[in-house]
Structure 1
């Protein structure tokens, strides 16, 4: 689900919390050693996201936020902030030999350059958190 998260809209916040859960508390953030990624450079993306990114001339970058049941990829276009909401059961993550990660959700994808150890460590954290929190039965969704 690709949504504009620039404004405090209760309907959008409710939909996001329904998909990926409420934000972690301060104690949980501390126990997880942080829930946000470093700045990530976007190399390629699906047509929906690319159409938003080409509206301005800034460097295409994003960050990822961990949530209890998924992740949120946030990026800016013009003066708006957009979020790609991905629950763990719809998350597909691929790594190539050239230090690129591709994150998929249905028809949306974002290809990210992972050229530092901090970024690679964060993606390892995502995979571990997904393994611990993915529902095992269809009734758990």
Structure 2
């Protein structure tokens, strides 16, 4: 689900919380050693996302937030903030050559580049958390 999260809209917040869960509490964030990624440089995207990113001339960057039932990929275009909401059961992560990570949900995808150890550690955290907390049966959804 791709949504504009620039403004405080209760309906959008409810839909996001329904798909990926409410944000972690401060105690849980501390236990997980943080839930946000460093700044990631976007190298390639699907058509829908690319149409948003080409509207301005800024460098295309994003960050990823870990949630109990999924992740949120946030990026800016013009003066708006957009979020790609991805529940774990629809999330596919791939690591390509030259430290390029691909994040997929249905027909949306974002390829990001970063060669720091912190990014590699964060993506390992996402995979581990997905393995521990993703629903195993359709009834769990």
Pick the TM interval, shorter chain: over 0.9
CA distance in 1, matches of 2:18, 2:88: 13
Matched, 1:27 2:27: yes
Say which SS state the counterpart of residue 33 (structure 1) adopts.
Answer: coil
Residue correspondence of structure 1 range 11-90 to structure 2 within 5 A: 11-90=11-90
Equivalenced residues, count = 141
Corresponding residue of 1:6: 6
Corresponding residue of 1:128: 128
Task: Note the alpha carbon deviations across 1:72-99, whole angstroms, 9 max, x for none.
Answer: 0000000000000000000000111221
CA distance in 2, matches of 1:33, 1:95: 22
CA distance in 2, matches of 1:98, 1:63: 19
> What is the Cα deviation at residue 116 of structure 1?
0.7
CA distance in 1, matches of 2:7, 2:97: 39
CA distance in 1, matches of 2:127, 2:19: 18
Q: Could you list the runs of 4 or more consecutive aligned residues of structure 1 that deviate by over 3 angstroms after TM superposition?
A: none
Unaligned runs of 5+ residues in structure 2 are none
CA distance in 1, matches of 2:97, 2:50: 24
User: What is the CA RMSD across the aligned residues, in angstroms?
Assistant: 0.5
CA distance in 2, matches of 1:76, 1:112: 15
Task: Note the alpha carbon deviations across 1:52-90, whole angstroms, 9 max, x for none.
Answer: 000000000000000000000000000000000000000
Given the two structures, how large is their TM-score scaled by the length of structure 2? 0.99
